[in-house]
Chain A
Amino acid sequence: MSRIETTFAQLKEKQRKALIPYITAGDPGLEVTVPLMHAMVKAGADVIELGVPFSDPMADGPVIQKACERALAAGTGLRDVLAMVREFRRGDDRTPVVLMGYLNPVEIMGYERFAETCQEVGVDGVLLVDLPPEECDEIGPLFKERGIDLIFLVAPTTTEARIARIAEAASGYLYYVSLKGVTGAASLNVEEVAARVETIRNLAQLPIGVGFGIKDAQSARAVSRVADGVVVGSALVNQVAAHADEPMAITPAVSEILADMRAAMDKP
């Protein structure tokens, strides 16, 4: 069983939901990321989505755009992100790490070399925002061979026929994008999300994480009632931005938000 499968299975046994924080690797500096990952696990994270910075983050709102700019200004490339995962694994061989980003940096590294390095350093899943299942003929098998999960988005606009096709190509979990928009957009509508998650469940066996628009403990709790996992990104990256000049303050600020979410999600 992969680390991601194991994690969701264990949570299910304990009747808990996954808390999945997103941060952009190398924001605001390369040395910040690995300690922050460990701190997030301590504060209650079950899976970590680690953003690979890209110069043209088309699916992201201003908060994560700026995070990408800070990370790139600090010199963060895909190789550095992979090195961070290797370092993280020295202190944590249990928490799944999913790399999230755009296809182009992977294209330039080469699919084969990327897949090999992911396996070697301990990456568990990869979510490439601009890579739909239709374009996965080449990269899909390279990941499958190595037991790395290819995670896909499902959107409010995704038809049922497509959901079924995506579920076939995906492993690990499905990431339901709660709203039409970019990351960090306005709040989600929990009832709509609940109805869509129900539809997805009827078409797919995989656990379902929900992201976009989860801002605080209250929305995290509400979503955890209907989904298997809660993804939180911009709310955390906002804290990184607020403390970019005093990196020592980043970890406590991010941890506090996560701990609140964890508590709200676990409350009966």
Chain B
Amino acid sequence: MTQRPDSTQTPDYGAFPDARGHFGRFGGRFVSETLMAALDELETMYRRLKDDPQFQADFDYDLAHYVGRPSPLYLAERWTEQLGGARIWLKREDLNHTGAHKVNNTIGQALLAKHMGKKRVIAETGAGQHGVASATVAARLGLECHVFMGEEDIRRQRLNVYRMKLLGAEVIPVTSGSRTLKDAMNEAMRDWVTNVDDTFYIIGTVAGPHPYPMLVRDFQSVIGREAREQSLAQAGKLPDALVACVGGGSNAIGLFHPFLNDEGVAMYGVEAAGDGVDTGRHAAPLSVGRPGVLHGNRTYLMEDDNGQIVETHSVSAGLDYPGVGPEHAWLKDIGRVNYVSADDQEALAAFRELTRVEGIMPALESAHALAYARKLAPTLGKDQDIVINLSGRGDKDILTVAEIDGINF
């Protein structure tokens, strides 16, 4: 077990964020005045419903009967053997309805929207998974749904674009800036400012202004709560290490948060190194960025000396974001979580390897977590356990991988 130099200084992780949405110096609410009232309203509603047994029961019911939870914790025996170290467990978020962890959050936010009487929801999306998950809950509740998506991502993820259209959502191409996730988020914010009275903004990750990083974390924490129980039941102990990919950070915080007070559990958040963290073409703000303010919160960002946000690069659209949730920024600074990275090549290799060895095709986002775990496992003993968050399935990425293989459909 890792010993802390002064255990009295271990924070009570459950007590964060503070009343104004701060995780240490990170987080907060940095938005234009028009949105302040809407965020106050959302926070008040959430704080009330969070402890309302009926709301929790509705949420749990949907997770069980609509999403299909609990998701299994699967022991990847063949891969474990091949890597020759720690036992590898996969938390199977890929088996959720719509194929990724994103739906845990959209179910929760859609319930909030319903309680607030909103008739229209908007969302930003990168890989399209959050857009699909938003369009799905909107279809189920009969809400109008508009999804903002960068032009570049629309090209990379055209299968998901069509899925959203089939679900009745309107996909709005975003042509400003780098035409990826950050620009989609800018455009969603602009729409929200304009239609704030009747519109609920479903943010897809633990970023954005307070209370979003808190409520998205709470909705995603079902991943870690289940994984903790399943580990105790199936492995007979808590895992030694957790590994998850970090785009905005929602699947990672969802897995990590219920374990934060378990000091013996090491945690690894894996960012996208793209062509490599020293090439400038990557999406790894925690690894090589610095603190700043974007999209309503203070966090680590990829930015230049003038404070302009720079373009990111990753083979996986869902990790192609220059910021990261503020709670991760704080967990990095206090040293509770290790933030590492995997590049495009390593992720693609892990994608192929898991597919061939276990018959499970992971999302390219999740493949970044697999790529790091692949290096970590052999350094640990055979009696140790690693839980990897398999945040999504890879069907949406088949065209991308085929293109890399030189195959055109």
A residues lining the B interface (CB < 8 Å):
54-62, 65, 69, 72, 77-79, 102-109, 129-132, 134-135, 152-159, 162, 166, 177, 180-182, 185
Contact = CB atoms under 8 A, between A and B. Distances in A.
Nearest to A212: B34
Nearest to A79: B306
B31 A157 contact: no
B5 to A, nearest CB: 29
B79 interface: no
B194 A185 contact: yes
Contacts of A79: 306
A135 B29 CA distance: 8
B3 to A, nearest CB: 35
B29 A134 contact: yes
Q: How large is the interface on B (under 10, 10 to 19, 20 to 34, 35 or more residues)?
A: 35 or more
B279 interface: no
B33 A154 contact: yes
Given A108-B303, A135-B29, A157-B38, 4 more contacts: A54-B307, A58-B295, A59-B193, A134-B28
B176 A78 contact: no
For the complex of A and B, 3 pairs with smallest distance between CB atoms: A105-B307, A108-B307, A77-B306
Interface in B267-316: 290-296, 298, 301, 303, 305-310
A7 B345 CA distance: 61
Nearest to A131: B30
Interface string B16-43: 0000100000001111111111100000
Interface stretch (B51-59, B182-190, B245-253, B360-368): B182-190
Contacts, number: 123
Contact of B197 (A105, A180, A182): A180
Contact of A58 (B189, B305, B308): B189
Contacts of A166: 33
Contacts of B34: 59, 153, 155-157, 177, 180-181
B176 A104 contact: no
B408 to A, nearest CB: 33
A40 to B, nearest CB: 25
B196 interface: yes
A264 to B, nearest CB: 28
Given A56-B186, A56-B309, A132-B29, A107 B36 contact: no
Contacts of A134: 20, 28-29
B177 interface: yes
B177 A55 contact: yes
Contacts of B298: 107
Given A55-B177, A180-B193, A162 B36 contact: yes
Contacts of A69: 176
Interface string B79-114: 000000000000000000000000000000000000
Contacts of B36: 132, 155, 157-158, 162
Given A58-B186, A59-B193, A181-B193, A104 B292 contact: yes
Contacts of B290: 108
Contacts of B186: 56-58
Contacts of A109: 307
B66 to A, nearest CB: 33
Nearest to A176: B33
A55 B193 contact: no
A103 B196 CA distance: 23
Given A132-B31, A156-B34, A104 B196 contact: no
B37 A159 contact: yes
Contacts of A65: 176
A185 B196 CA distance: 15
Contact of B194 (A57, A107, A158, A180): A180
B6 to A, nearest CB: 28
Given A135-B28, A177-B33, A105 B308 contact: yes
A59 B20 CA distance: 22
Contacts of A61: 190
B122 to A, nearest CB: 14
B19 to A, nearest CB: 11
B177 A130 contact: no
B279 to A, nearest CB: 20
Contacts of A58: 31-32, 186, 189-190, 295
Question: Of A62, A65, A106, A108, which is in contact with the most chain B CB atoms at under 10 Å from its CB?
Answer: A108
24 contacts: A55-B309, A55-B310, A56-B183, A56-B294, A58-B189, A59-B34, A62-B176, A103-B30, A103-B293, A107-B293, A107-B307, A109-B307, A129-B32, A130-B32, A130-B293, A132-B30, A132-B33, A155-B32, A155-B33, A155-B34, A157-B37, A158-B36, A180-B34, A181-B193
Contacts of B292: 104, 107-108
A185 B305 CA distance: 32
B308 to A, nearest CB: 4
B194 A130 contact: no
A108 B305 contact: yes
Contacts of A59: 32, 34, 189-190, 193
Nearest to B30: A130
Contacts of B308: 54-55, 72, 77, 104-105
Question: Of B29, B32, B189, B296, which is in contact with the most chain A CB atoms at under 10 Å from its CB?
Answer: B32
Contacts of B20: 134
B293 to A, nearest CB: 5
